[in-house]
Amino acid sequence: MKEGEDFYFNEEGLMVFTEVYHLKRGYCCKNKCKHCPWGYGKKKEKK
């Protein structure tokens, strides 16, 4: 894993995975990650 590409540390010192990392992993862990490329946990638009 590469810092700045796969993850970064936020203001509180916590590691945050990027969208690139999630796509490399290849599946959604359903933890409502901040950069989830599958949109899990994001509010859906009403049609």
| Token pair listed for 22 | 């999630």
Give 1-47 as a DSSP string: --BTTTEEE-TTS-EEE-HHHHHHHTS--SS--TT-TT-TTSPPPP-
More confident site: 18 or 42:
18
Compare 43 and 9 and report the one with higher pLDDT: 9
Better-predicted residue by pLDDT, 12 or 46: 12
Confidence band for 42, pLDDT divided at 50, 70 and 90: confident
